[in-house]
Homo-oligomer: A and B are copies of this chain.
Amino acid sequence: MKHIAESTVRRLSLYLRFLEEGEARAQDTISSGELARLGGTTSAQVRKDLSFFGSFGKRGLGYHVKDLIEAIREILGLDKTWPVVIVGAGKIGAALAQYRGFSSRGFRVVGVYDRDPARIGQRLDGLTIRAESELERDIAKLKAQIAVLCVPSEAAQVLLDRVTKAGIRAVLNFAPSPLRVPKGVALRSVNMATELEILTFALTNRIEGGPR
């Protein structure tokens, strides 16, 4: 398959949200123009994004909402439930472990891990915080392929190496340090300070910060 830009995938995720809202309102079909208006893009962009993966629409009519939802779910790999482990049960890790937005979209947090004995054994929304030493065994047992890293910078690379050796193939990192991943492992990093800095750049340069 051709290479797909990250921006395309991000927009597909957005379209999916609008489609689900449409489905909830019993909307039957939707045009590329309407999706574009909702998503702040152009109809040509919507059609191009979808056309990478197939022909889902009907000329003169638009896209059938339910069919397109199913198609995009399959494209994004959301047609199954993904077990996710959260590494680090500090403030951010604990918040994410209880975040409803994950479970409502095909992700299931199956484990939360920390090295601090004071935290191990505490309960978070139906999950018990476990010792970091259990990570390897649990990842194998639970067949988890996705990890969310919420540990301090100093620990991030070591833990990333450990979880990828144990079978994790995708990592969402919240530590504010750049990480190296083995080939074949997907990595995304969210750096809160960088996000704020993009805003202060916009403020000091009086530029508009576009939607992401």
Binding site for B on A (CB under 8 A): 1, 3-4, 6, 9-10, 12-14, 17, 38-40, 75-78, 82, 84, 90-92, 94-96, 98-99, 101-102, 105-107, 145-146, 169-172, 176-179, 183-212
Contact = CB atoms under 8 A, between A and B. Distances in A.
Given A14-B194, A187-B211, A192-B102, A200 B76 contact: yes
5 contacts: A39-B178, A77-B200, A101-B176, A179-B211, A190-B195
A106 B204 CA distance: 14
A1 B105 contact: no
A82 B4 contact: no
Given A101-B192, A203-B169, A198 B13 contact: yes
A contact face: mostly helix, strand, loop, or mixed: mixed
Nearest to A100: B152
Nearest to A184: B212
Contacts of A186: 199, 202-203, 207-209
A10 B198 contact: yes
Contacts of A105: 193, 196-197
B91 A98 contact: yes
A193 to B, nearest CB: 5
Contacts of A1: 205, 207-208
Contacts of A177: 17
B91 A178 contact: no
A211 B192 CA distance: 15
